[in-house]
Amino acid sequence: MRKRLVAAALAAFAVGTLLLPATAHAAPAPAVPVVDVRSHGTEAGTALASGYEEPGTRLRVDAGRTSSATWLQIDYQVQETGYWCGPAATRIALSARIAPPSQGELAAQLGTTVNGTDHIGQVTTVLNARLGGGWYETKEMPNDPPTQAQRDLLWSDVVYDIDRNYPLVANIVAPPGNQPPGYPSDQTIYHYFTVFGYDAVDRTVLIADPASFSGNQIYWISFDQLATLIPPKGYSA
């Protein structure tokens, strides 16, 4: 049985010369753009945010619900290096529940190197360490294509976790011919992204993709595609 234990602002002052004392206040941080999920459909291939490609760029998605769809509030951020997709996806997942640490902190905690984050189990361990309570488990999907039992478990995990405000982190393999929007079509991409919403009627899932391939950050894909992207890797749920 799954273990379910749910668990000042700083003011900066600068002093001028003795003759002309002055106090300078830090400029306010730029507003984080907000992605409006409700103004878009939930069909596979629907992109909700595009064009934000600079490493570290942030977006906010507010939580919402329709008659068939549910999605969580997240603080999205483009991965800061070419090999920090694991830390960035983990950060996005954490942001649904806590103020997330930096990608750099998470990279160190995950053991991420220039070769990436080796295994989804490292993500599970860090999610539980940061949140406490041991909610997350590593689910392996070694069969390609996945078995019906693996597909059923994945859908059950998506719905169960998101309904309880826990995004999933998936380790995927996207070969030419089976790729999310914007991926380089002549390459097989080994990657991590975050699943933070679903539509039970369209059978689609909402993805926060830290790679921002071709400027695609937030988008819907079919559940069937998600199930074929994960093997032979796994996911944290």
pLDDT one-digit tens code per residue, 78-121: 999 999 999 999 999 999 999 999 999 999 999 999 999 999 99
Q: Which DSSP letter does residue 81 get?
A: S
Q: What's the pLDDT tens digit per position in 122-132?
A: 999 999 999 99
pTM: 0.87
Q: Give the span between the Cα atoms of 200 and 159, in whole angstroms.
A: 9
pLDDT at 33 over 80: yes
Write down the domain spans for the chain: 34-236
The dihedrals phi and psi of 207, each to the nearest 5 degrees, come to -110, 135
Strand, coil or helix: 190:
strand
CATH node for 34-236: 3.90.70.10
Structure tokens at 80: 């800061």
Is 34 in contact with 59 (CB distance < 8 Å)?
yes
CA 93 to each of CA 16, 41, 61, 76: distance values in angstroms, whole numbers, following the listed order: 43, 23, 12, 9
Q: Which residue has the tokens 């069969």?
A: 143
With vertex at residue 32, the alpha carbon angle to CA 28 and CA 35, rounded to the nearest 5 degrees, is 160
